[in-house]
Structure 1
Amino acid sequence: MAIRIKSHWSNAGTGRALPEIAGALAFIAWRIALDKAINLHCERFVYRDDAQRLGVIQEYLAFLIQVADRLAQAQPATADEAPDDAADGPAPDRAARRRLLITALARKLIEHVEDNSADLLGPGDYAQAFITLLNQRSDEYAQYQLDAQGPSYAFLRHLGYEVQGLMGGGQENRWVIDQVMDRDGWDAYRSFAKAFRDLFD
């Protein structure tokens, strides 16, 4: 069952700072990633433990950050958008806006990962491990295309491959890659891309 995502501001017409938009995107990305991790269980794929489930969530978050980065690359500035909380000078150019947005999004997602991992698994350096994952996936996804039609086959296959690797190749999980590539990855992309565009409207 699809999750409902609120992706419109309650007081439309008010300019939003990029960190505020990033915070909303991070919350939406977390909800989508969690939903896709739960869906694998609903489709009768088997998790070994909570750490494995969190690993799948983090793979989806890394995927969605890459989606956000590609969408931001093509996003024009809007007349009422505030570039940051303390900007008094001219608005930053597109590359600077993109950098501000994606950096703020990553920071918020790192907080989500750190808080939820500590709640489920106890104390640990979850932030640094997630940062390492984000850097690695950024290099890997850079090889694949995402255009106006969405992510390429190779882009989605990489997500599926990483989730499959996390969950193992046992009999019960042998079709995870197909589930992610053919359905869940596409659903995650579509939901997040719509929310991204809505938040900038």
Structure 2
Amino acid sequence: MAIRLKSRWFREGPQRSAAERGGVAAVASWRLGIEMVKRLQRAGFGIEVGAGYFQVLKEVAIFLALLADRQVHARQSPEERDEFTVGMVRHLAATYAESATEWLPPRRADGPDWADDFLAAWNTVAPTYADFDSDAVSGEPEIAFVRHFAWRLEPLLPAADRVWVIDQVMSIEVPEAAQALRRTLAGVFDETPRRARPATAATGD
């Protein structure tokens, strides 16, 4: 089933900053990530409710942020790309923290919060994808890009599921998500003025 997301995000008005666009991309990516985890569960992968679910969701969200970073690089200067990605990751960290706070046991008051946990994971994981890219036209990530993502998911799943996850991710999950994300980003960066709606004539007796 194709994933559908909103394709036009901004009303007419001042040009949005790269960070604002990153925040919007984060909203879409979070929804894509949740849907991907749900599909994995429906496909029979043993993703436990609770901590295991959030471990997988965090890995998925980081992958989607990296994919968005690759998909927009041709649209922005290096400085704007950095601003976009930082804005996206910070928004994802805040969303992750809000959700984890609601569903998981409290963190220690003197320790890192859930947003810190997400950002620490980003800082560790993102460099491992440094050599991977996506196609400039189709937005499809390189095979090695997707395989690396699947390899990172493997240890988060029960042993019996690990043999199947690479095929599931490469043939179903990522192609769906990559196209949905590319359509969303096209809307995020679309500055074409909207058509004015025709005026409705007033009627009366």
Matches within 5 A, 1:120-139: 120-124=103-107, 125-139=113-127
Q: Name 2:198's counterpart in structure 1.
A: none
Partner amino acid, structure 2, of 1:113: Y
Residue 164 of structure 1 pairs with residue 173 of structure 2: no
Letter in 1 for 2:68: A
The one-letter amino acid of 1:71's match is Q
**Aligned residue for 2:167?**
178
Per-residue deviation, 1:144: 1.9
Kindly provide the CA deviation profile for residues 145-192 of structure 1, in whole angstroms up to 9, marking residues without a partner as x: 32224211110001111112211322x553122111111012111111
- Contact conserved, 2:70 with 2:133, CA < 8 A, in 1? no
Mapping of 1:41-190 within 5 angstroms? Answer: 41-76=41-76, 94-124=77-107, 125-148=113-136, 149=138, 150-170=140-160, 172-190=161-179
Q: Which runs of 5+ in 2 are unaligned?
A: 108-112, 191-205
- Give the match for residue 200 of structure 2: none
TM-score, structure 2 length as denominator?
0.82
The percentage of aligned residue pairs carrying the same residue is 30
Q: How big is the shift at 1:24?
A: 1.3
What TM-score, normalized to structure 1?
0.83
Give the CA deviation at 1:14. 5.1
Distance in 1 of aligned mates of 2:153 and 2:129: 14
Moved over 6 A (4+): none
Q: Displacement of 1:58 after TM fit?
A: 1.1
Q: CA RMSD in A?
A: 1.8
Deviations for 1:16-67, whole angstroms, at most 9, x for unmatched residues?
2323222211110000000000001111111233211111111111111111
Q: Which stretch of the first structure deviates more once superposed, 179-188 or 144-153?
A: 144-153
